[in-house]
Structures are given as C-alpha cells and as structure tokens.
Amino acid sequence: MDNPSPREDLQIIAGRIDQLVVLCARLQEENRSLRTSQETLVAERANLLTKNEQARSRVEAMIARLRSLEQNG
C-alpha cells in the first residue's frame, strides 16, 4: 500500500476541517432553532397554565353558587 504524501495528508485534513466547519454551522443553526422553539413552548405552557387556573376558578365559583342555590331552595 502506498503511503499518502504529506501534501495529500494535508489535503485530507483540510477536507475534514471543511466538513467539520459545515457541520458546526448546521448544528449552531439547529441549536438556535431549538432554543427558539423551546422559548415559544415555555411561553405557551405558561399561558395555558394561566388559562387553566382561570377556568378552574370559574368552575369552583359555579359549584359554590349551585351549592348555595341548593341550600336556599
């Protein structure tokens, strides 16, 4: 088997570095996108929890009114 020359070794290494640079850029973009999605989901979850708590309060108030009507009726 022929051993690659130092020039060929450098070309192979340079090619691998180029591939790693491309991969790194892609992963950075993917990471940015995932962080943005996570922020959106966290905000959406907080909004849903607030709405859930409001709905729970309204239901509890309705139950209390119904019980009051039951006792007065």
pLDDT of residue 1: 58
Query: CA 58 to CA 56: how far, in whole Å?
Result: 5
pLDDT tens digits, 15-66:
999 999 999 999 999 999 999 999 999 999 999 999 999 999 999 999 999 9
Model confidence, pTM: 0.67
C-alpha to C-alpha distance for 60 and 20, rounded to whole angstroms: 58
DSSP class of 3 = P
- Distances in whole angstroms, Cα of residue 70 to Cα of each of 56, 58, 67: 21, 18, 5
